[in-house]
Structure 1
Amino acid sequence: MNRHSPTESVTLRAADAELTIAPQDGCRLTSLLTRGTELLRQGEQYGSFVMAPWCGRTDHGRFRNGGEVFQLPVTNREHALHGTARNGGWRTNQVDDRSAAFTFDLTDPWPWDGRVTQLVELAEDGGGLTLTLGVETRGDSFPAQAGWHPWFRRNLDNGGQDVRIDFAPEWQEERGADQLPTGNRIDPRPGPWDDCFGMPDGVDVTLDWPDELRLHIASRAEWAVIYDQQPEAVCVEPQSGPPNGLNTLPRFVTPIEPLEVSTTWTWQHAG
């Protein structure tokens, strides 16, 4: 096991892949290199960040647990966005050449004491990675969500074409004027997207940079938000429930049943 301070950046390597994680910056994946090509958009708000203990927008920051209404800080004009774990400092618990484990304590403004764990593992052949999140309580049960928000580069700057997104969801969550799902499930529509899609057999999305690289994103989670309205990057966000899910589809974390979700990314170069 390599020695790291609890907060310094961690770099994992396997074959021709190199992955850097910044626990001090929300346990964000700040770089994913394969054969020297960077796959993630660079910048302090980009890379790939954890969404927990909720994903996407929560309606005006308010949600109900039983008979009690809780208020979260509004961080996106009118809604609470993407959870608290992305902004906090995480602790590095264990590191070896190809894997690392990190933890984040849930505290105020989240109403309950709990912990989020992220396990990051590079495949031995350097052709993929697996991310696993766990959300657990230290006391009372609470509703929660978990997922990831990766920003993949639209163009890899190797003289090739822009990325193409290939997926076949069963439905699309209709999005209202307030940017939240209305509760109606509609037939999937063509992009551009900032939308949540349902995949009851698990998230299954392929990003294809023609004649360069194909990246497959899989998860047993049943929802993914696809965002492609930015010229520099696209997002494929596997998550345990839809946006505003604390209100519409809560998944309860109990002392005997944590929330667990994982995603695997695999890639292949064209040549």
Structure 2
Amino acid sequence: MTTGKKLTAGDAELTVVPQDGCRIASLTVGGTELLRQGDRYGAFIMVPWCGRTENGRFRNGGIVHQLPVDAPPHAIHGTGRHTAWHDGPDATDSAASYYFDLADPWPYPGRVTQTFELGENELRMTLSVEASADSFPAQAGWHPWFLRNLGQGGRDAEIDFSPEWQEERGDDHLPTGKRTEPKPGPWDDCFGMPDGVDVSLTWPGELRVRVTSPAEWVVVYDEQPEAVCVEPQSGPPNGLNTLPRLVTPIDPLEITTVWSWERLG
């Protein structure tokens, strides 16, 4: 049975498992579970890259690095989800922080920190990536598996968002670099929202969850019958190569997201 740190606020309860990649194992509101259960699910962190990195390789200046290929032929979702995180300071009943130090197979030293702040009607999370010495490109984001159906006899979740563009996806599941008009689902696709990520999941008559972030990139994945993924992230898949965001000792990468909810009916 998965154990972890429980945060509570009102009738909301969050379970974080720091020893398992700082994964969110559960988020319940009024006793209703919002996330798909299982060791691979809940909500995991993508860091220091998001989605697939082409052939597991990325360049930093003139140096090419090879990452483990764990979604052949690509490397996927970063190393943070496979790492045990450490407790940060100043935990309370409704807030906590965790960190881990970047290490092999990631080639650059640094520190990743995540904070959780649970309120009665929202969960606020922040991820930061700091460079200890040499600068390096990095990404960060979240990969939640929201239940498609809450299991209480209601209807499936409905997705609502208005992206400015959709990244064309090649046969290798990587963006081709071409931006297109957003197309109907089902999706395993990256979208651009330059005014900030804003995606709603509505279970009619039951609950609405709104996922927001100042970041402008979101991946939506709804090809499985059990769950819908809404993934705010700091850059597109393969962004270490196509849109590198350099982390330096004086300029860390920081990304935040807020998941807020309201009851319906």
- TM-score class, shorter-chain normalisation, is over 0.9
Give the alignment partner of residue 55 of structure 1, picking from 50, 53, 57: 50
User: Which letter maps to 2:68?
Assistant: P
Match of 1:198 in 2: 192
Match of 2:72 in 1: 77
Report the alpha carbon displacement of residue 77 of structure 1 after superposing the two structures with TM. Answer: 1.8
* TM-score (norm. length: structure 1): 0.96
User: Which letter maps to 2:153?
Assistant: G
In the aligned structure 2, how far is the partner of 1:148 from the partner of 1:182? Answer: 22
User: Which letter maps to 1:154?
Assistant: R
> Structure 2: which 5+ residue stretches go unaligned?
none
Give the alignment partner of residue 100 of structure 1, picking from 82, 96, 114: 96
Matched, 1:24 2:19: yes
Report the alpha carbon displacement of residue 155 of structure 1 after superposing the two structures with TM. Answer: 0.2
In the aligned structure 2, how far is the partner of 1:20 from the partner of 1:129? Answer: 12
Matched, 1:247 2:247: no
In the aligned structure 2, how far is the partner of 1:131 from the partner of 1:215? Answer: 15
Give the alignment partner of residue 179 of structure 2, picking from 185, 189, 193: 185
Matched, 1:141 2:135: yes
Report the alpha carbon displacement of residue 131 of structure 1 after superposing the two structures with TM. Answer: 0.6
User: Which letter maps to 1:106?
Assistant: L
SS class of match (1:60) = helix
Report the alpha carbon displacement of residue 270 of structure 1 after superposing the two structures with TM. Answer: 1.0
User: Which letter maps to 1:119?
Assistant: T
Give the alignment partner of residue 132 of structure 1, picking from 126, 131, 137: 126
Matched, 1:90 2:85: yes
In the aligned structure 1, how far is the partner of 2:125 from the partner of 2:46? Answer: 12
Count of equivalent residues: 262
Matched, 1:12 2:7: yes
Report the alpha carbon displacement of residue 212 of structure 1 after superposing the two structures with TM. Answer: 0.3
Deviates more, 1:246-255 or 1:93-102: 93-102
In the aligned structure 2, how far is the partner of 1:77 from the partner of 1:39? Answer: 31
SS class of match (2:186) = coil
Matched, 1:112 2:105: no
Q: After superposition, where does 1:158-169 map in structure 2 within 5 Å? A: 158-169=152-163
Residue by residue, what CA displacement relative to the aligned partner does 1:42-82 show, whole Å, maximum 9, x if unpaired? Answer: 00000001100000000010011111111000000210000
Match of 1:175 in 2: 169
Matched, 1:268 2:262: yes
User: Which letter maps to 2:98?
Assistant: F
* TM-score (norm. length: structure 2): 0.98
Report the alpha carbon displacement of residue 220 of structure 1 after superposing the two structures with TM. Answer: 0.3
